Amino acid sequence: MSDISQTIIGFDLWYLSLPVVGARDHGIGRVDGACEIIVLRLMSESGETGWGEASPWVVFTGSPEASFFALDRYIRPHVLGRRVADRETIMRDADRAVAHCSEAKAALDTALHDLAGRISGQPVHALLGGKCRDSIALSVSLANPDFAQDRALLDRLRADGVRIVKLKTGFRDHAFDLMRLEALAQEYPEFSVRVDFNQGLAPEDALDRVRDVAQFKPDFIEQPVRAPLYDLMAEIRQSVDVPLLADESVFGPEDMARAVRDGICDGVSVKVMKSGSFARAKAVAAMAAANGLGAYGGDMFESGLAHLAGAHLIASTPSIDLGCEFYQAKYYLAEDILETPFPCEGGRVQIPDGPGLGIRPDLDKLEHYSLSKGLAA
Ligand code: MG
């Protein structure tokens, strides 16, 4: 059977712990040792498979345990036995079955698109409206508490042709942030620099610290304060002449509407993991564009599988035009889980044109890094 009217007969999960190459500090938390993700495999009657990833971060979106059980216990019954073609109603039912858990729903939506694309011979970007770009500029984040190690990474990035970096700030003292910004300006002038506080600043000194950082004229400054502090975001935006981006403050279209209304940002980080589906991520990007705001493709601590979902989203969404940060697979995981490397050359992510997402996970790697599996696996 080669049509999408066939039913879904397989729903398998892997809970993975993926070793990483070093520590990373962000405003709201640290990652060290390994990151944990959930991989979902759907199978149709013909034996075709579709893959998706949930990549939560506990201090940002939620826990991997919540993603695993959302899929395993609450979403699975709404998927098995349904037609591949019924993606919209499957997603509606999953949304009603379990609140929040946007990463679990992102995994499901990704896998449904991958499966439909594999069966119909179309890339996911074609299912999402068509490809508007063949590659995406890559931004790599600098978040190592040991700046000497980030200097080594910068040298590697320079050699690889990467020309955008995002400095993670606000996790240590102000002088450390300014020292690194000065070093970037003096020693790495070929890089465009972005700054992301990941909510790390205390309300009382946020404005002063952001003003100091703005002196370095980064491309933008992202999420200096806690997500719910919309009034303070708006005040900071009014007080500095560098664009202010919202990340943690905007998960889905509902947040974007309020962000626009309250004037908290000049742009937004769009992530499938935050919005919970391609359609909702596209809605965020469309709302941003309609209000003259910028958008770029953010990521979580994720593997190449989630990068692929993000790459197809951006490939099919003209208004997400500030690049992407899908660097983990190549620059942060000790080993990625895809069968072939996530396509990233010369500082740009290349958009796969094969059916579905274009690359599948390697089953041996899934087994190797798996902590536990779903009930039906
Ligand atoms: Mg961010």
Q: Which residues have CB under 8 Å from 191's CB, separation 6+? A: 154, 157, 158, 162, 163, 164, 165, 184
Residues of the chain with CATH 3.20.20.120: 127-350
Q: What's the gap in Å between 246 CA and the centre of ligand 1?
A: 8
Q: What's the gap in Å between 269 CA and the centre of ligand 1?
A: 7
Burial (CB < 10 A; 0-12, 13-18, 19+), residue 45, is middle
pLDDT of residue 28: 82
Cβ proximity of 331 and 152 under 8 Å: no
77-117 pLDDT tens trace: 999 999 999 999 999 999 999 999 999 999 999 999 999 99
Q: What's the gap in Å between 199 CA and the centre of ligand 1?
A: 9
Q: What's the gap in Å between 325 CA and the centre of ligand 1?
A: 10
Q: What's the gap in Å between 121 CA and the centre of ligand 1?
A: 34
pLDDT of residue 375: 46
Residues of the chain with CATH 3.30.390.10: 8-121+362-373
Q: What's the gap in Å between 105 CA and the centre of ligand 1?
A: 20
Q: What's the gap in Å between 376 CA and the centre of ligand 1?
A: 35
pLDDT of residue 48: 98
Amino acid at 102: S
Ranges of residues in the chain whose predicted pLDDT is under 50:
375-377
Q: What's the gap in Å between 298 CA and the centre of ligand 1?
A: 7
Q: What's the gap in Å between 268 CA and the centre of ligand 1?
A: 9
Q: What's the gap in Å between 294 CA and the centre of ligand 1?
A: 14
pLDDT of residue 107: 98
**Which CATH number describes the domain made up of 8-121+362-373?**
3.30.390.10
Burial (CB < 10 A; 0-12, 13-18, 19+), residue 86, is middle
Q: What's the gap in Å between 168 CA and the centre of ligand 1?
A: 9
Alpha-carbon span 118 to 127, nearest angstrom: 11
Alpha-carbon span 329 to 324, nearest angstrom: 13
Which DSSP string do the residues of 159-189 spell out, in sequence order? Answer: HHT--EEEEE-SSS-HHHHHHHHHHHHHH-T
**Which CATH number describes the domain made up of 127-350?**
3.20.20.120
